[in-house]
């Protein structure tokens, strides 16, 4: 499977994990003590390193309507420079995607100049080497010295093993919930028995040490290092 397909799958998993897993989210244990049951929320967190990167480079030129061919030639020139940069960096052609050139009219209310259009094209680069793709993003501005009008539109990092990691974290979160329940039950002179019910909360993929969580789950793509956290709300029988 190509890296493009892998990254697309990762993006899909991130969306599904973030949006379709429902449940409450809490940092600390919250309990509901009835006569025979105790409901507690546990959590588990670990740090991971992104193993997939996605870089989007933007090429843009403005040309008068009467001379659009020149604008297209300039975009093609900038694309050639971009391709050369990526080739030197060791990026395979199959991991590079070029969008069609788009054209939008430029409106300038302060002048009455001739009709002009902005010609834009994006180049998407995907790689399993996050350090390499980061280095490439830093080299993109250097193409301006060769006359290119170019910029980095976005640089994103993903972790491809999130589904497997989530399973192991849910197991740890259940253990955490039971440990919390045992401490609470000990204060009442009772013991924790079997699990009566359990539901998982949303997955939070955050920048390191971040507390900026979301009720609907989050997936940070800005940092290579990430904290992955899940919660479980479990109800235990008291005896």
Question: Residues 31, 106: one domain?
Answer: no
Question: Residues 42, 11: one domain?
Answer: yes
Q: Where are the alpha helices (DSSP H) in 42-140?
A: 68-88, 130-139
The stretch 6-17 carries a mean pLDDT of 48
DSSP code of residue 35: S
Domain boundary among 137, 158, 179: 158
Give the alpha-carbon dihedral of 196, 166, 17, 54, to 10 degrees. Answer: 170
Question: Residues 69, 150: one domain?
Answer: yes
pLDDT tens for 18-76 read 433 333 333 334 444 456 889 999 999 999 999 999 999 999 999 999 899 999 999 99
Per-residue confidence band for 4, with pLDDT thresholds at 50, 70 and 90:
low
For residue 18, count CB atoms less than 10 angstroms from its CB and return exposed for 0-12, middle for 13-18, buried for 19 or more: middle
The stretch 100-119 carries a mean pLDDT of 83
Alpha-carbon span 31 to 182, nearest angstrom: 11
CATH of the domain at 103: 3.30.70
Q: Report the Cα 137 to chain-centroid distance in Å.
A: 17
Domain boundary among 101, 124, 158: 158
Alpha-carbon span 44 to 203, nearest angstrom: 10
Q: What is the pLDDT of residue 24?
A: 37
What is the torsional sign of CA 130, 92, 135, 120?
negative
Q: What percent of the chain is predicted at pLDDT more than 90?
A: 69
Per-residue confidence band for 188, with pLDDT thresholds at 50, 70 and 90:
confident
Number of domains within the chain: 2
Secondary element (H or E) of residue 177: helix 162-186
Q: What is the pLDDT of residue 213?
A: 85
Per-residue confidence band for 189, with pLDDT thresholds at 50, 70 and 90:
confident
Alpha-carbon span 134 to 223, nearest angstrom: 11
Per-residue confidence band for 2, with pLDDT thresholds at 50, 70 and 90:
low
Q: What is the pLDDT of residue 214?
A: 87
Domain boundary among 130, 158, 186: 158
Tokens of 92: 């395979």
Question: Residues 88, 168: one domain?
Answer: no
Question: Residues 77, 132: one domain?
Answer: yes
Tokens of 30: 């919250």
Q: Are the CB atoms for 157 and 167 separated by under 8 Å?
A: no
Q: What is the pLDDT of residue 23?
A: 37
Alpha-carbon span 54 to 9, nearest angstrom: 13
Q: What is the pLDDT of residue 10?
A: 53
Alpha-carbon span 73 to 55, nearest angstrom: 24
CATH of the domain at 170: 3.30.110.170
Helix, strand and coil in the chain, % to nearest 5: 35, 35, 30
Domain coverage including residue 121: 52-158
Question: Residues 204, 118: one domain?
Answer: no
């Amino acid at each position: 499977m190509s890296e493009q397909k892998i990254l697309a799958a990762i993006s899909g998993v991130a969306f599904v994990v973030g949006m379709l897993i429902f449940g409450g989210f809490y940092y600390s244990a919250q309990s509901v003590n009835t006569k025979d049951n105790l409901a507690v929320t546990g959590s588990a967190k670990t740090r991971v390193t992104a193993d997939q990167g996605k870089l989007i480079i933007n090429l843009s030129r403005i040309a008068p309507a009467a001379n659009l061919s020149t604008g297209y030639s300039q975009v093609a020139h900038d694309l050639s420079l971009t391709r050369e940069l990526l080739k030197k960096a060791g990026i395979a052609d199959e991991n590079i995607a070029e969008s069609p050139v788009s054209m939008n009219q430029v409106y300038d209310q302060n002048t009455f100049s001739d009709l002009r259009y902005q010609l834009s094209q994006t180049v998407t680069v995907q790689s399993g080497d996050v350090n390499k793709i980061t280095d490439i993003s830093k080299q993109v501005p250097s193409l301006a010295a060769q006359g290119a009008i170019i910029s980095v539109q976005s640089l994103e990092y993903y972790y491809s093993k999130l589904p497997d990691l989530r399973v192991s974290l849910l197991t740890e979160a259940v253990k955490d919930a039971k440990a919390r329940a045992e401490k609470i039950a000990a204060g009442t002179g009772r013991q924790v028995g079997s699990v009566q019910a359990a539901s998982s909360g949303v997955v939070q993929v955050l920048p390191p040490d971040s507390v900026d969580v979301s009720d609907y789950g989050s997936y940070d793509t800005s940092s290579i290092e990430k904290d992955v956290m899940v919660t479980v709300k479990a109800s235990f029988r008291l005896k």
